[in-house]
Amino acid sequence: GAGVSQSPSNKVTEKGKDVELRCDPISGHTALYWYRQSLGQGLEFLIYFQGNSAPDKSGLPSDRFSAERTGGSVSTLTIQRTQQEDSAVYLCASSGGLKRGSTDTQYFGPGTRLTVL
């Protein structure tokens, strides 16, 4: 029933390789978020999907980062040509989507720990 799930839980890769991280949101949730948690940077917003609207990519740190959300459900975060500074825990969250006059709670997945050697 679940909550938000993410895979893999851990990923070790070599510098320069591409990686894909997957997020399965809570069923029926229209909003999906990616965040990054790293030492020295805390938790930072990366990208946001809401329904069929164009995603807000304002938090992506470089053009090596991209994300897509297929069918309004599963999302994949792709990091190309990984660098050591990309090492972090990548968190996905989903929420029910905005209702006028309310704020939806974001529910977080367990994260993917990425280590770039």
Partner 1 sequence: AQSVTQLDSHVSVSEGTPVLLRCNYSSSYSPSLFWYVQHPNKGLQLLLKYTSAATLVKGINGFEAEFKKSETSFHLTKPSAHMSDAAEYFCVVSRINFGNEKLTFGTGTRLTIIP
Binding interface with partner 1 (CB under 8 A):
3-4, 31, 33, 35, 42-45, 48, 50, 53, 56, 59, 91, 93, 95, 98, 100-111
In the complex, least distance from residue 42 CB atom to partner 1, rounded to whole angstroms? 5
In the complex, least distance from residue 67 CB atom to partner 1, rounded to whole angstroms? 14
Rank residues 80 and 87 by Cβ distance to partner 1 and give the closer one.
Answer: 87
In the complex, least distance from residue 48 CB atom to partner 1, rounded to whole angstroms? 6
Separation of alpha carbons 87 and 92, rounded Å: 16
Rank residues 91 and 116 by Cβ distance to partner 1 and give the closer one.
Answer: 91
Separation of alpha carbons 60 and 69, rounded Å: 15
- The answer to whether 45 and 31 have CB atoms below 8 angstroms apart is no
In the complex, least distance from residue 39 CB atom to partner 1, rounded to whole angstroms? 11
Q: What is the DSSP letter of 56?
A: B
CA-wise closest residue to 112 among 55, 34, 2 = 34
Rank residues 6 and 82 by Cβ distance to partner 1 and give the closer one.
Answer: 6
